[in-house]
Amino acid sequence: MRKILIADRGVMAARVIQACRDEGIESVAVYAGSDLFSVHSQSANEAYELSGATSAEGYLDGDQILAAATRAGADAIHPGGGAFGQDAGFAGVVTRAGLTWIGPSPKALERLNDLDRLRARAAECGVGMASRDGARGERSTARRIEVPCLVDRAQRVVTVSTRDASLRTPAQTLIAEAPARGLSAAQEGLLRRTAVAVLRDAGYVGAATCSFEVDQDSISLLGVTAGVPVEHQVTEEVTGLDLVREQLRLARGELLGDDDPTPVGHALHLRIDARDAVSGFGAEAGAVTRVVPSLGPGVRLDLGVQAGSQVEPGTDPLLAGLVVRGNDRKQMLERARRAVGQLILDGLPTLIAFHQAVLDGPWLRDASAPVGTAWLEEHLDSLGLRPQTEAVSQDALLPARETLVLEIGGRRVEVTVPCGRGPGGRSLRRTRERRGPRITSSQALASPMHGTVRQVAVKEGDRVVAGDLIAVIEAMEMEQHIAAHRHGLIQQVHISEGDQIGRDAAVCVIVGDA
């Protein structure tokens, strides 16, 4: 492989570009909309535009991705951390085009999506199969434990420590810790053996994460995710491995060593999204106005944005991954509190305040009682968080651009670059404004995020109680479950499956008492 196109954006695209640079491989980025001036498109050797009605639509267009790879002369495609990494159909298109796919084969992906097959392999190891929504767990003691793995073409499987991903929303891990604490030797051995068996049965080659629900003496397999997730950095910090470079090695057909790495120290990964925890963790859109990174011993910050970066509706709101390592858990947590307190990402709501509140509390410090998957439901209201209501106008912060005509080696080249002044020499002013009017009726239920309606679970005339599922909204590969905010009767439903919906748009009206 000499030139790799990364079919993703933001933090994960920038991370893969770093690994390519370390390997001496050229990188090709793709961008849509305001991502022209993003960290990942500026970091790559080359960058190509994707078109679409929305930026999110461009990033999900496999035909455009493949066309960009052909135009760039890339000989391989890396899916980053996005939806393409789980797409057997796209993996097949890439390989049939004669390009190297940096991920598992289409056949392996199909086998991992066969729940009956997964259930059978897990049962052979003495492990049950959890329901797909089991990641939240119905019991407050249930935990989500992940086993990152590497598999080579000889079917040698290396299990790369363990990771606790219990502190999460239904769709994302908010805080991950490696290695997972509170596991007995027997539990950890069973987790690792099951991961090995499932991956070998699929004929898998590459990096993967096997996820389990662990509750006291009960272990159930949740599933297998191809590639490396956002929180892979926390595993890297305790094992010394570069998991993305390992992906590249495995795609070249190289073999792994025989031993599983022994973790040294403890590390925490904090997901920094453009989300407001108080308003249901819905994705926010807007512009980043200021970035002040965390510094000091044991701190790693993988940024996907810089001052002026845009988070457009429907795209992944991940801004950064903050990883903190310590020689022991006490030092890790001390450094984490310091690092979160230093980090500034201004311009739109973020999860920084949420992480600060969690770290200031007693929950992570209590080594005898690891956090379960129900923690967020049980403790969010006790964090004392306030809504982050001020946002930045996107239009006011779009970088002004000008076209320069250059002569390079006798060839005329037009280059579009950001400039400090707008049309006609006017200064580009940055202004702040309040968001548009919100739904204020106590009967109306509003969408907490921009996205696409994937499911409408009610109809007019249905009776619901608070907490019942009303709808599912998706942006990129992330789902947000919208629940009833009160008891009552569904009087109006304003959405249908397939609709595009904006943040604070009306979902339905619930009247009366059930």
Q: Render pLDDT for 3-26 as a digit per residue (tens, 0 to 9).
A: 999 999 999 999 999 999 999 999
pTM more than 0.85: no
Neighbours of 434 (CB within 10 A): 10
Check residue 369 and give its pLDDT.
75
Domain residue limits at 23 = 3-101
Identify whether 436 is part of a domain: no
Distance (Å, rounded) from C-alpha 76 to C-alpha 2?
Answer: 8
Domain edge (last residue) among 70, 101, 132:
101
Note whether 274 and 161 are same-domain residues. yes
Note whether 58 and 84 are same-domain residues. yes
The tally of domains found in the chain comes to: 4
C-alpha dist (Å) from residue 192 to 184, 320, 382, 403, 432 = 12, 29, 36, 55, 51
The two structure tokens encoding residue 34: 């305001």
CATH number at residue 492: 2.40.50.100
C-alpha dist (Å) from residue 372 to 130, 212, 246, 329 = 16, 13, 31, 18
Q: Are strands 163-168 and 173-178 parallel, antiparallel or unpaired?
A: antiparallel
- Phi, psi at residue 215, to the nearest 5°? -140, 105
Q: Is the peptide bond before 179 cis (omega within 30 degrees of 0)?
A: yes
Identify whether 271 is part of a domain: yes
Note whether 239 and 253 are same-domain residues. yes
Domain edge (last residue) among 46, 66, 101:
101
Coil/strand/helix, residue 408? strand
Sign of the dihedral through C-alpha 233, 190, 82, 228? positive
Identify whether 364 is part of a domain: yes
Write 86-95 long-range contacts (CB < 8 A, 24+): 86/225, 86/226, 86/227, 86/477, 87/62, 88/113, 90/62, 90/65, 93/62, 93/66, 94/66
Domain edge (last residue) among 81, 101, 121:
101
Identify whether 185 is part of a domain: yes
Neighbours of 280 (CB within 10 A): 18
The two structure tokens encoding residue 161: 């420590």
CA proximity to 323, closest of 208, 247, 235, 207: 235
CATH number at residue 92: 3.40.50.20
Note whether 222 and 357 are same-domain residues. yes
- The DSSP output letter for 507 is E
CATH number at residue 352: 3.30.470.20
Neighbours of 432 (CB within 10 A): 12
Note whether 359 and 419 are same-domain residues. no
Identify whether 386 is part of a domain: no
Note whether 170 and 294 are same-domain residues. yes
Q: Contact at 8 Å (CB) between 142 and 374?
A: yes
Distance (Å, rounded) from C-alpha 179 to C-alpha 148?
Answer: 11
> Angle at which helices 62-72 and 88-96 pack, to 10 degrees?
30
Q: Tokens 């979902």 appear where?
A: 507
Identify whether 389 is part of a domain: no
Note whether 124 and 151 are same-domain residues. yes
Note whether 139 and 243 are same-domain residues. yes
Identify whether 19 is part of a domain: yes
Strands (DSSP E) along 304-346, which ranges?
A: 310-311, 318-326, 344-346
Distance (Å, rounded) from C-alpha 389 to C-alpha 397?
Answer: 18
Residues 6+ apart with CB under 8 A from 124: 197
- Dump pLDDT digits (tens) for 131-169: 754 444 445 689 999 999 999 999 999 999 999 999 999
Distance (Å, rounded) from C-alpha 354 to C-alpha 385?
Answer: 7
Identify whether 132 is part of a domain: yes
Q: Contact at 8 Å (CB) between 278 and 382?
A: no
The two structure tokens encoding residue 162: 């363990």
- Phi, psi at residue 484, to the nearest 5°? -60, 140
Mean pLDDT for back-to-back runs of 10 residues, the chain (514 residues): 96 97 96 88 92 84 95 96 91 96 96 93 94 51 95 97 94 95 94 97 97 92 94 97 97 92 97 92 90 95 92 90 97 97 94 95 83 91 81 43 57 53 33 32 74 88 88 73 86 86 80 67
Give residue 404's identity as a one-letter amino acid code.
L
- The DSSP output letter for 427 is B
Neighbours of 393 (CB within 10 A): 16
For residue 229, the number of C-alpha atoms closer than 13 Å in the C-beta half-sphere is 26
Note whether 129 and 200 are same-domain residues. yes
Note whether 51 and 150 are same-domain residues. no
Q: Is 133 exposed, middle or buried, given 0-12, 13-18 or 19+ CB atoms closer than 10 A?
A: exposed
Note whether 361 and 400 are same-domain residues. no
Check residue 388 and give its pLDDT.
80
Residues 6+ apart with CB under 8 A from 217: none
Note whether 39 and 91 are same-domain residues. yes
